[in-house]
Amino acid sequence: MREVNALVTDKLSSGRRRRRNDKKDINIREVAREAGVSIATVSRVFQSPDRVANLTREHVQAVISRLGYTPNILARSLAIAKTHSIVALVPDIANPFFSEVIRGIEQVAQQNGYTVLLGDTQYDLQREQAYAQLIPARQADGLITLMPHIPRIQVNGRPPIVNACECVEDNGITTVRTDNIAGAKAAVGYLIALGHRNIAHIIGRPKSPLSIDRQEGYRRALAEAGLGINPHLLSQGDFSAESGIRATERLFSSKQRFTAIFCSNDEMALGAINAIRLRGLRVPQEISIIGFDDIRLARYFDPPLTTVAQPMRQIGQEAMKLLIEILLDKDVPPRKCVLAESLVVRKSAVAPPT
């Protein structure tokens, strides 16, 4: 009798193994895609179902049941042991642009049970690397960097990193950014449409992908209008208001005529306006100014600044969402997310004086 029971048990077990092997292994990413929700939402259905709207929870559970998905218990236990903290690296926390991006990161992090550790690197590579070591030390789960390069992290597999704002030349890294070339081209094209022909450009930090792309947009706009670049109308800054003042002074010292300045960010644009006023000149009546970013102060400055608006908070939100996807599924492929920018016309740019 025991032999018969053993034979039946073996056949049943064999059948179950065959059914499992006949089915394609399902992972959380496939469940999310099939349900039309984020990976984070599927995870919350398992770990915190009360935080998911009833209709969404029932829909996801139905998809889970239909696909036959069972979460990996070991993976879940490891996930519970994680810190649920992430590191956000910024080069200059005093820059209001980065402050808005951090707000977006914080918003999504809080909604998903993560805390944000802020690292102000001040463009110091050693400080940056020290913060990045929190990941292999298991003091933080992942990293969002707002720098133009990726710090070295020794981990198994793909490092849990998302790059925001800057565009790194690494196809293995998920990035979130806007089209800086298109934004700069639109800004300079607007000045050309107003009638400006002698347009100066205050460049951002040297070797920054942002600076390079925005200068390329400046070049393309001039080229399409049949205008050449006057090298004397290019002045180097570093994204700070103080550098905008110094760069504008160098433009005046060049003795070259210009009726407008396109600045690589709003802080330098505000510095340029101050430098122009110190010369006894008026903005925009004598010199027009356009910035880039649309920081909060831009709309309240005198005159209100015409600028290229970046969706700063959305950049942070998307970066955090993508990092959570990586933390929940290390096999999710790298993504290149490009958000839309727009030209915001205010009062700092008008037709050139006759």
Hey, where are the domains in the chain? Answer: 2-78, 84-178+312-339, 180-310
From CA 117, how far away is CA 86, in angstroms rounded?
6
Place of tokens 């027009």: 288
The CA R_g of the chain, rounded to the nearest whole Å, is 26
Averaged over 138-150, what is the pLDDT?
Answer: 90
Of the candidate ranges 62-66, 165-169, 183-187, 344-348, the one whose mean pLDDT is the lowest = 165-169
Superfamily of domain 84-178+312-339: Response regulator (3.40.50.2300)
Give me the pLDDT at residue 72, please: 62
If DSSP codes are grouped into helix, strand and coil, which group holds residue 181? helix
Is the model's pLDDT at 9 over the cut of 90?
no
Fold equal for 2-78 and 180-310: no
Averaged over 342-347, what is the pLDDT?
Answer: 98
Is the model's pLDDT at 6 over the cut of 80?
no
Give me the pLDDT at residue 24, please: 46
Determine what percent of the chain is predicted with pLDDT higher than 70. Answer: 89
What's the topology of domain 2-78? 434 Repressor (Amino-terminal Domain) (1.10.260)
Short-list 237, 303, 247, CA closest to 275: 247
Give me the pLDDT at residue 4, please: 35
115 or 169: whose pLDDT is higher?
Answer: 115
Averaged over 142-150, what is the pLDDT?
Answer: 90
Give me the pLDDT at residue 331, please: 82
pLDDT category, 26, cuts 50, 70, 90?
confident
Give me the pLDDT at residue 153, please: 82
Q: Are 89 and 143 in contact (CB under 8 A)?
A: yes
From CA 310, how far away is CA 298, in angstroms rounded?
12
Short-list 185, 309, 298, 184, CA closest to 241: 298
Give me the pLDDT at residue 75, please: 54
β-sheet with 306-309: strand ranges across: 234-236, 199-203, 260-263, 288-293, 306-309, 342-344
pLDDT in tens, 250-286: 999 999 999 999 999 999 999 999 999 999 999 999 9
Q: Are 338 and 174 in contact (CB under 8 A)?
A: no
- Hey, which of 93-97, 170-174, 206-210, 216-220 has the most confident mean pLDDT? 216-220
Short-list 144, 147, 183, 142, CA closest to 168: 147
Is the model's pLDDT at 3 over the cut of 50?
no
Of the candidate ranges 137-146, 159-168, 316-325, the one whose mean pLDDT is the lowest = 159-168
Averaged over 36-64, what is the pLDDT?
Answer: 83
pLDDT category, 12, cuts 50, 70, 90?
very low
**Helical residues (DSSP H) of 195-240, grouped into ranges:** 209-224
Place of tokens 């970046």: 310
Treating both helix axes as pointing N-terminal to C-terminal, what angle do 28-35 and 39-47 enclose, rounded to 10 degrees? 110
Is the model's pLDDT at 171 over the cut of 50?
yes
Is the model's pLDDT at 211 over the cut of 80?
yes
Averaged over 296-313, what is the pLDDT?
Answer: 96
CATH 3.90.199.10 matches 180-310: no
Give me the pLDDT at residue 162, please: 95
**Residue 308 CA neighbour count, 13 Å, CB half:** 26
Contacts of 67 (CB under 8 A, 6+ apart): 26, 30, 31, 34
Tokens of 265: 């960010």
pLDDT in tens, 236-252: 999 999 999 999 999 99
Tokens of 124: 């110091």
Residues in the chain: 354
Give me the pLDDT at residue 21, please: 37
